Amino acid sequence: MEYVLVTQGLSKHYKDFKALDNLTMRVPKGSIYGFVGRNGAGKTTLIRLICGLQTPTAGEYSLYGTDSREKGIGAVRRRGALVIGLAGAGRQQEAQGQQQCQEFCRMLHRRITFFP
């Protein structure tokens, strides 16, 4: 199977705070993923790491088969993504965001996975 994102033990720590701790995941090509969770769960940190805005404390990741430490990762990062943010949203708005993502995926005949 071909993956667009693979992380292995990906972590980002700020002194004693673990913003992202040992994340291992695989996102298959053609999938649509949604990251949903409480404040501080690591959603934004993960996006910042794979966009190259921050450097991991530990672990590794690859995008479309290109390791994050390779020279060509910058071009791979420009392939695109859809990021929908509901900063400060309450549970009702969060649920509406999930419903919108599910409807979008249904129209594209794609599956969606939400991470708690």
What DSSP assignment string belongs to 44-110?
HHHHHHHTTSS--SEEEEEETTEETTSTTHHHHHTT-------TT--HHHHHHHHHHHHHHHHHHT-
Write the CA distances from 29 to 6, 19, 87, 96, integer angstroms.
11, 26, 27, 26
CATH code of the domain in which 48 resides = 3.40.50.300
User: Which burial class, exposed, middle or buried, applies to 36 when counting CB atoms under 10 A from its CB (0-12, 13-18, 19+)?
Assistant: middle
For residue 115, pLDDT beyond 80? no
Identify the helix (H) or strand (E) that includes residue 5.
strand 3-14
Q: What is the pTM of this model?
A: 0.66
**Of the given ranges (40-44, 53-57, 109-113), which has the lowest mean pLDDT?**
109-113
Residue 98's domain comprises 3-115
Q: Rounded mean pLDDT of 33-61?
A: 88
For residue 82, pLDDT beyond 80? no
Identify the helix (H) or strand (E) that includes residue 39.
none
For residue 80, pLDDT beyond 60? no
pLDDT at residue number 30: 83
Q: How many domains does the chain have?
A: 1
pLDDT at residue number 21: 94
What mean pLDDT is reported for the chain? 80
